[in-house]
């Protein structure tokens, strides 16, 4: 990435909306985009986390607006998108990063946890994409990037709801790539493996040790490493990448 022509990797003049921007991969992605020259609309339910990310973006010399909202709240997302476009005149990039995990083996999956996981991880991504597409179509340009997971490909013990939601992200991404490609809009997904975030830190140490033994890279990934892939996909370097799912897992699925 460091050797890429700066004009191709730059997001200067672009406006991006990043969900789940209050921490982890979402925050790292928003900051990476800011350093590449983008202006950022940040969405998260965690207002304090949004403030920390906005401060980091300001330190990078970029502009940010923060919206404390649930991604599945269609009215709140529509308002955030409208405010972004009214302020900056455009919306070029969407990163559907927000998500939750509610682990349980199949026999113990609770209806409420199933519904909450699909609403946050899958419905929320659709709601956000639906809100931004009219603006992207009018401009003849757009990038829709969504967070899947390697569990969508390999499954994971105790993650029926999470795996279903992340598999749905892959399916929707491919539909959007077909529907929107002729309009100048690409849709791609990123599938992180085990990344050093709050979500992964909640996993028992014994399980993490077992996972590390299976990762050729021998370590957990860093949020910034996933953010770098999002940055590539958002840039002009990825202008012919559409409908792809990019694994960022240190080789775990090999």
Q: Determine how many CB atoms are found less than 10 A away from the CB of residue 223.
A: 20
Pairing of strands 64-68, 142-147: unpaired
Quick check: is 157 catalytic?
Answer: no
How far apart are the C-alpha atoms of 62 and 34, rounded to whole Å? 6
Q: What are phi and psi of 214, to 5 degrees?
A: -100, -5
Q: Report residue 145 as tokens.
A: 């990037």
Q: Report residue 34 as tokens.
A: 């800011």
Give the residue among 9, 19, 15, 29 at the shortest CA–CA distance from 63.
Answer: 15
Pairing of strands 39-44, 185-192: unpaired
Sheet holding 142-147, edge to edge: 64-68, 39-44, 15-19, 93-96, 142-147, 185-192, 245-248
Which residues in 29-147 belong to E strands, given as ranges? Answer: 39-44, 64-68, 93-96, 142-147
**Catalytic residue from among 33, 162, 176, 232:** 162
User: Which active-site residues does the annotation give?
Assistant: 162
């Amino acid at each position: 990435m460091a050797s890429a022509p700066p004009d191709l990797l730059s997001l200067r003049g672009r406006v991006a909306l990043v969900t789940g921007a209050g921490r982890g991969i979402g925050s790292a992605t928003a900051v990476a985009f800011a350093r590449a020259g983008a202006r950022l609309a940040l969405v998260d339910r965690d207002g304090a986390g949004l403030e920390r990310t906005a401060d980091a973006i300001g330190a990078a010399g970029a502009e940010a607006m923060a919206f404390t909202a649930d991604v599945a709240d269609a009215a709140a997302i529509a308002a955030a998108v409208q405010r972004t476009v009214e302020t900056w005149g455009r919306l070029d990039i969407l990163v559907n990063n927000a998500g939750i995990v509610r682990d349980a083996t199949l026999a113990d999956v609770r209806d409420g946890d199933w519904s909450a996981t699909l609403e946050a991880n899958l419905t929320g991504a659709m709601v956000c994409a639906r809100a931004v597409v009219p603006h992207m179509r009018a401009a003849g340009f757009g990038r829709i990037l969504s967070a899947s997971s390697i569990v969508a490909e390999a499954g994971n013990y105790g993650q029926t709801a999470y795996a279903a939601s992340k598999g749905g992200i892959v399916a929707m991404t491919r539909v959007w790539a077909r529907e929107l490609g002729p309009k100048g809009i690409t849709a791609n997904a990123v599938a992180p493996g085990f990344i050093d975030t709050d979500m992964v830190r909640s996993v028992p140490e014994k399980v993490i040790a077992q996972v590390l033994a299976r990762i050729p890279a021998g370590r957990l990934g860093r949020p910034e490493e996933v953010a770098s892939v999002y940055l590539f996909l958002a840039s002009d370097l990825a202008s012919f990448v559409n409908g792809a799912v990019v694994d960022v897992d240190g080789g775990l699925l090999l």
